[in-house]
Structure 1
């Protein structure tokens, strides 16, 4: 049986770090305003990132430090929650993971655990909301740590999960030697492959990958796709979801296809 996170119709539009409308001057990605804008545009899924503040609060923030978003060079892990709230006040407002899950109860979240220290706190927080959370990380070990914590503190259902870099590598290697048993072994316990279309010169998303993933009951989501022709080409190829900075564009495109 499919995880409840996947109960919405395909193809899925995952609002990458929320949504920054064209007139959103000064609003930052992963802010409260960005998540609210995605929700207002009709997004059912928001992709976001998790870091831990110096006083142990999980916040939605992509980078390990504040320099790109606020001009402050300090790592997120060295800044207390109240100070981070002040820095983000004029940039759409900081949003913690707890706030995101409570303020937007009809949204499903795709959460990339960016820091090892955040893995257990993330798992503990999402445990009560596991039916509408997918946990991801480039690190399979970090992802599994968060999943284990969610199961430990949860109510009998684990969050959905997508493959980390090592799992994706094993899957592509298995495809290269045309071994479905190895593909199935690589994708055991995984609900989605979330990948770029290409990695350097290597084409990751191919008809063979999509067919093999679907044979294993695994969806394929492609990041980060921001123009309509590119979205159309991937959807025609058979991908199950698009991770995009332009959820408004993708939602209109998907609506036209249904």
Structure 2
């Protein structure tokens, strides 16, 4: 059975990318998936969007907002502020893995240092090849994952050229042929973003290694 990976802490079940979501998801998921950016005062924060609006109702860019302000924001009526990546590692058991997705290149080196120092099994993923290269330059033993969109050309070749251990395809293109080809090149395959049991069933049949899912019950 594929590993269950909690997308933003099972964003369909809990307020995304919050410590509460990660603590709750750690009870059922093999791994947590989260997004990181650098905030205006330099810290590595866990936040998906470039702008604050959708998640906090406030105006402004994460990259221009200091951490004391982000900590005071409320994320999706959770009663929680925006967490630091270091806080997530401290909050969840080391037995639960963490997939750190780099949203920007400038955060890669600091995120890699935090990941390398953690007791958890960590995979670092990104759509940005330069971000993955930056990680390799800081911590060359951290497993890397190449995220890509459906229209990407030769994602397996790109993943191999970047020294990746994993391919993270969108669920629409994660079929048995892609999985077999990735496995033949030594890549694990974790598909995103799974929302229903029907999607999970198809991807299990395709042979994926992990399901990056919005709900904790997609595998039944």
Q: Give the TM-score range, shorter chain.
A: 0.7 to 0.9
CA 1:45–1:184 in 2, change beyond 3 Å: closer, same or farther? same
Name segments (4+ residues, structure 1) moved above 6 Å. none
- Which aligned pairs between 1:21-170 and structure 2 lie closer than 5 A? 28-40=15-27, 42-88=28-74, 91-93=78-80, 94-104=82-92, 105-129=94-118, 132-151=121-140, 158-165=141-148, 169-170=152-153
- SS of 1:14's equivalent in the other structure is strand
Cα distance in 1 for residues equivalent to 2:206 and 2:6: 20
Q: Are the counterparts in 2 of residues 31 and 95 from structure 1 also a CA contact under 8 Å?
A: yes
Find the partner of 1:229 among 183, 186, 198.
198
Cα distance in 2 for residues equivalent to 1:30 and 1:233: 27
User: Which consecutive unaligned segments of at least 5 residues does structure 1 have?
Assistant: 1-9, 152-157, 173-182, 199-203, 254-258
* Count of matched residue positions in the alignment of Structure 1 and Structure 2: 215
Counterpart in the other structure of 1:178: none
The superposition leaves residues 162-196 of structure 1 with CA deviations (integer Å, 9 ceiling, x where unpaired) of 11449x94535xxxxxxxxxx56852521111011
- Specify the structure having the higher radius of gyration (Cα): 1
User: Which consecutive unaligned segments of at least 5 residues does structure 2 have?
Assistant: none
- Which aligned pairs between 1:145-224 and structure 2 lie closer than 5 A? 145-151=134-140, 158-165=141-148, 169-171=152-154, 187-188=160-161, 189-198=163-172, 204-224=173-193
Q: Are the counterparts in 1 of residues 36 and 101 from structure 2 also a CA contact under 8 Å?
A: yes
The alpha-carbon deviation at position 140 of structure 1 amounts to 0.8
CA 1:103–1:111 in 2, change beyond 3 Å: closer, same or farther? same
Root mean square deviation of aligned Cα: 2.3
The alpha-carbon deviation at position 91 of structure 1 amounts to 2.4
Cα distance in 1 for residues equivalent to 2:159 and 2:54: 36
CA 1:64–1:20 in 2, change beyond 3 Å: closer, same or farther? closer
Counterpart in the other structure of 1:11: 2
Q: Are the counterparts in 1 of residues 146 and 159 from structure 2 also a CA contact under 8 Å?
A: no
Cα distance in 2 for residues equivalent to 1:33 and 1:118: 24
The alpha-carbon deviation at position 234 of structure 1 amounts to 1.1
CA 1:186–1:139 in 2, change beyond 3 Å: closer, same or farther? closer
The alpha-carbon deviation at position 18 of structure 1 amounts to 0.2
Normalising by structure 2, we get a TM-score of: 0.88
